[in-house]
Amino acid sequence: MDNYLEDVKQQFKYYKMLGDKTISQLPDDKLFWQPNPTINSIAIIIQHLSGNMLSRFTNFLTTDGEKDWRNRDEEFIAFITLKPNLLLLWEQGWACLFNALNTLESADLSKTIYIRNMGQTVTQAINRQLAHYPYHIGQMVFIGKMVCANAWLPLSIPIGKSKEFNSNKFNKPKHNQHFTNEFLNPKK
């Protein structure tokens, strides 16, 4: 189970990196752009992710994951209008998540925690967020691709480069490594 904790931390880092790289490609004003009023901007998605992370992972093992101080509905109203403030919120959410995960031990994984009074194991709660956050980060990436169009820099294997990528993989001996290593720790 120690591998589980390391694996989920690595996967969360990977999805944060995708969000970071998306944010870095966009002009500041485009973080607040909405394709239409029913689609959240990247800023609104960040507000929601941060609100969720702060609520879920503050006192993770001891209090309900839906904190009484959270105003979820407000997360979907653009209340942040400056990129530095938005990035601060983004980093606060992730720091809360990683601080909580870094305190966990294998024995904690089978403990019961609650989200809105619904019990689940720590493992189930982590898996829940590991599905939720990439869903929204995928939305951020999609909006980034729409905004940047042909100037978009791929975040994974570029179109037309799969054969080259696979050839490189199969030219190496079989080995164990986390799939995110090459993206999080690229060789210079």
| Residue pLDDT, tens place only, 108-138 | 999 999 999 999 999 999 999 999 999 999 9
Fold of 2-152: Four Helix Bundle (Hemerythrin (Met), subunit A) (1.20.120)
The pLDDT of 135-156, averaged and rounded, is 96
Give whole-number Cα distances, 147 to 74, 113, 154, in Å: 25, 40, 13
pLDDT of the residue at 2 = 64
Q: What are phi and psi of 50, to 5 degrees?
A: -65, -45
* 188 has a pLDDT exceeding 60: no
- Give the count of beta carbons closer than 10 Å to the beta carbon of residue 81: 10
Q: pLDDT grade, residue 183 (50/70/90)? A: confident
Contacts (Cβ under 8 Å, ≥6 apart) of 146: 35
Measured CA to CA, the distance from residue 74 to residue 103 in angstroms comes to 30
pTM of full prediction above 0.85? yes
The pLDDT tens digits for 8-18 are: 999 999 999 99
* 177 has a pLDDT exceeding 90: no
* 158 has a pLDDT exceeding 90: no
The pLDDT of 41-60, averaged and rounded, is 98
